[in-house]
Amino acid sequence: MCQPQRYIHPDFPTHICRLKKSLYGLRQAPHSWFSRLTDQLLQYGFVGSKSDPSLYILQTASFQLLILIYVDDIIVTGSHFKEFNKLISYLERGYPIKYLGPLSYFLGVETLHDGGDLILTQ
């Protein structure tokens, strides 16, 4: 990244700046965000799916958590509500999270909850 015109350092007029973090709106910002999130999920114990690079799975003998990432939207589901809440608390330390309630619509697919069943429609 080049120095902004109003902030050119007189001793280093052609010096290139090195960013310590990505800036919103830059082309590499989504890649940087996804990479940072992936690192945090792997540290937490998740494993990336072999069939879908945006799906992460944490499976133990007592519970399973799944995270699906699409751009800046994330679906989190699991078999144990307490572990789900622990994961959300962990993610809130590094990211501003907005909980939108139970899944109702994602990528053109509507989800309907009917008792214990989940119905997907387009």
pLDDT band at 109 (very low <50, low <70, confident <90, very high): confident
Of 40, 39, 37, 2, residue with least CA distance to 19: 2
- The structure's pTM equals 0.70
SS3 77: strand
pLDDT at residue 65 greater than cutoff 90: yes
Provide the pLDDT for residue 105.
Answer: 85
Pairs from 60-68 (Cβ < 8 Å, separation ≥ 24): 67/41
